[in-house]
């Protein structure tokens, strides 16, 4: 799923993002983070900016849905904290 996000424009992604379930958005966010850690250092600047915009849209949608509360999302926050201790690609 994250590979398809790289090829579509930010506007196209925003149109379909609201139709995607919260669980799928969370999985997509994990896939984006893993993709950034693995191959982000090889991306050009415009592609990095584009994927960061799409990532921000996913975060916004999850926050609007009330999905990113501490009570029901502790596992994702622990996973994200573990990812942030790794060496950054960019």
> Positive or negative, the Cα torsion across 43, 46, 50, 55?
positive
The pLDDT tens digits for 46-82 are 888 888 899 889 988 988 888 777 666 777 777 777 7
The total number of residues written for the chain in this structure:
90
Tokens of 22: 């919260």
d(CA 23, CA 31): 12
Would you say residue 84 has pLDDT above 70?
Answer: no
Q: What is the pTM of this model?
A: 0.75
**CA dist 54 to 4, 6, 9, Å?**
12, 9, 9
The pLDDT tens digits for 2-43 are 557 778 888 888 888 889 998 898 888 888 888 887 887 888
Cβ atoms of residues 46 and 5 within 8 Å: no
């Amino acid at each position: 799923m994250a590979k398809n996000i790289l090829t579509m424009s930010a506007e196209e992604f925003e149109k379909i993002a609201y139709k995607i379930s919260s669980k799928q958005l969370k999985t997509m966010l994990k896939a984006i983070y893993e993709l950034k850690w693995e191959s982000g250092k090889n991306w050009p600047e415009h592609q990095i900016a584009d994927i960061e915009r799409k990532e921000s849209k996913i975060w916004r949608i999850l926050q609007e849905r009330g999905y990113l509360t501490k009570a029901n999302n502790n596992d994702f926050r622990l996973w994200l904290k573990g990812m942030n201790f790794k060496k950054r690609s960019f």
